[in-house]
Amino acid sequence: MAERPLDLHGRPLGVLRLSLTARCNLACPYCCPDLEDPPDLLTLAERVALVEATVGLGVHTLRLTGGEPLLHRRLEELIAALQPLRRRDPGDPRGALREIALTSNGVLLGAERARQLKAAGLDRITLSLDGTDGTSVARMAGLGGAAAGEAVLTKVLAAIRHAREAGFDPARGALKLNAVITRSGNADQLLPLAALAREQGLELRLIEFMDVGNRNGWAPEQVLPAAEMVARIGAAWPLEPVGRAPHGTAGRWRYRDRAAAGADGGAHLAVVASITAPFCGDCNRLRITADGVAYSCLFAADGTDLKPWLRPGADAAGLEQALRRLWLQRRDRWSEERQMVRPGEGVATPSRSHAEMAYLGG
Ligand code: SAM
Ligand code: SF4
């Protein structure tokens, strides 16, 4: 078996987040996606070659993201083309892909699309929704007015239903809900979102507002710390910790009433505290943009353009070497370092430019 690289902090490579487009059909102000894609988007064959190369270095989980990945017309084709990597034996010396997941805002997830994704071989879907009323959804999605927010909300609620009906089972972790919480934007939506997720039997993943990119107006005062989110929800429905999965980004909690009734299902609460409680020490994620630039950290300023090893025609050995070199030289622990720069202050101000979120895919 080819040797799997460890980075300079001894971390293996495990998860690839592949952004398929930098464009989006929403305009969440905390994300600020681009109106146009970069000119040099990767082709389907180039994406397959990239995923195969990273699988050889240890990637077992692929998350397709964006921008909005459902805007990508060849999404199902890409998922289908990756199935041979999933069918490999776990002990295959070339590595094997265990699962393919998708993060989406759900607006374009109709019943037929959900069935097509399942049939193509998608394993898991995480849908993003930041509120349960039209006004909150409009504010968090950058839409003009409550009616537009209401329309998006209706579509996302339908998307949850379509995904479930297509076979993405929340009790098996195959369907989850993401929500970014900001102090002035939607902190009042914590309880309504938790109630919705409990009712639907979904894991709710609450994400601290992160200083990714340079144009989302991030300010420390806008971050609602994960501990506060857990305290507020726990006051309504008492919680007990379940712990963090190895290499997981989220601290997880279960509802006492559900656990006591033996009706835990998938409806846990998870909090992603990358600002107030960074998890860099365990980070096994690589991000690749829609135009083939690899970033070894969500907060990185610079990436490595992999196109020279993809065009014209993939140079599999060169690509593997370039990725291996990138991972062996990886020293990023940006979130932890930010905390050390301003000890005791909890949340520090950003101090350098970052790549934009829609390129990095969350
Ligand atoms: N459009 C898809 C969606 O919204 O799910 C996929 C791309 S989006 C960049 C991936 C995830 O990143 C979403 O759950 C989104 O809420 C989250 N996100 C975007 N900007 C963020 C920020 N500044 N801080 C924290 N999470 C953010
Ligand atoms: Fe679009 Fe997702 Fe960014 Fe919102 S978070 S603007 S839905 S890419």
Q: What pLDDT is stored for residue 175 in this prediction?
A: 98
Comparison of pLDDT for 212 and 171, the residue scoring more: 171
Q: What pLDDT is stored for residue 308 in this prediction?
A: 96
Establish if 215 belongs to a structural domain. no
Establish if 356 belongs to a structural domain. yes
Pocket of ligand 2 (CB under 6 A): 24, 26-28, 31, 33, 66-68, 105, 128, 358
Establish if 121 belongs to a structural domain. no
Q: What pLDDT is stored for residue 351 in this prediction?
A: 46
Residue 118's nearest CA partner among 152, 169, 154, 45 is 169
Q: Are residues 154 and 252 in the same domain?
A: yes
Query: Would you say residue 10 has pLDDT above 80?
Result: yes
Q: Are residues 141 and 267 in the same domain?
A: yes
Query: Would you say residue 341 has pLDDT above 60?
Result: no
Q: Are residues 50 and 139 in the same domain?
A: no
Q: What is the residue range of 204's domain?
A: 127-208+226-272
Establish if 116 belongs to a structural domain. no
303 lines ligand 1 (CB under 6 A): no
Extract the tokens encoding 93: 């010396």
Atom 16 in ligand 1: which residue has the minimum CA distance?
180
Give the closest ligand to the alpha carbon of residue 18: 1
d(CA 296, CA 6): 13
Considering the entire predicted model, what is its pTM? 0.94
216 lines ligand 1 (CB under 6 A): yes
The arithmetic mean of pLDDT across residues 51-62, rounded, is 97
Q: Are residues 66 and 132 in the same domain?
A: no
Establish if 114 belongs to a structural domain. no
Cα Rg of the chain (Å, integer):
20
Establish if 158 belongs to a structural domain. yes
103 lines ligand 1 (CB under 6 A): yes
Atom of ligand 2 nearest to the CA of 105: 7
Q: Are residues 48 and 144 in the same domain?
A: no
Query: Would you say residue 209 has pLDDT above 80?
Result: yes
Q: Are residues 151 and 251 in the same domain?
A: yes
Establish if 248 belongs to a structural domain. yes
Establish if 217 belongs to a structural domain. no
Comparison of pLDDT for 162 and 339, the residue scoring more: 162
Q: Are residues 93 and 14 in the same domain?
A: yes
Whether the CB-CB separation of 25 and 66 falls below 8 Å is answered with: no
Q: What pLDDT is stored for residue 359 in this prediction?
A: 72
Atom 11 in ligand 1: which residue has the minimum CA distance?
362
Q: What pLDDT is stored for residue 339 in this prediction?
A: 62
Q: Are residues 90 and 156 in the same domain?
A: no
* Count of structural domains within the chain: 2
The arithmetic mean of pLDDT across residues 228-249, rounded, is 90
Q: Which of 15, 357, 359 to mutate to test the pocket of ligand 1 (most atoms within 8 A of CB)?
A: 357
